[in-house]
Amino acid sequence: MFTRTKASQLRRLRACTVLVLFALLPNFAFARSTDQQVKEAYELVSSGCVPVNNEVPFFKGPPDSVSRTVDGDSVQEKRLYNKSEVVTLSSYGKLVIEQLTVPADSVPDELKSFFMLSLFEFFSRFGVGERRNRGEYFYGEGLAGLVARFEQKRLVELKWTCDYD
C-alpha cells in the first residue's frame, strides 16, 4: 500500500513539473486546452462514469447512429460518432457510461491535442501506466480505467471502461 501511495505521489509530482514546464513554453494555449481535456477525462473517471447533465463528454452533437437494447427498466445504447463509440446504460434515471472508445481517425476536437502527443510526451505528462499488451497502457482509478494504445510511438486509441455497483 505504501509503495502505491508513493508511486501515486511521484506521478502527481511529475505531472505538476510538466505543467510548470508547459507554463514556461511560449505555446501555453496548447497546455491550457490539454489541461481542460485532462480535467474532463479525470471527471469522467472519478465520477464513476456518470456524466454531468446526462451529456457524454467530448461529443456535443447528436450521434451518427444509435442502437438500443431495452431490458426491463434499463436501456443500453451504443452511439457512434464517426468511428468513435460510446456505450451507455440508462437505469433508474441515471446514465452511466460503460465504455467510450476514441480511435485516432475519429477524434473529437476536444481530444485532438492528446493525439498529437508523442509517446514520450504522453508518458512525461501522465506517467507510464500499467503495461497490458504491446503498446497498451492502463490507467485506473476506482471502478473506471483508461487504456491508451500506441503504434509506432503515436497514440492510436483511447478507451475508457467503467464498472459500477
Return the higher-pLDDT residue of 5 and 140.
140
The stretch 106-118 carries a mean pLDDT of: 87
| Rounded Cα distance, 16 and 71, in Å | 45
CA 41 – CA 58 distance, rounded (Å): 9
In single-letter form, the type of residue at position 63 comes to P
pLDDT band at 4 (very low <50, low <70, confident <90, very high): very low
pTM across the whole model: 0.68
Instruction: List the chain domain ranges.
Output: 2-52+99-162
137-165 pLDDT, tens digit per residue, is: 998 876 778 899 999 999 999 998 887 65
Distance from C-alpha of 150 to C-alpha of 85, rounded to nearest angstrom: 18
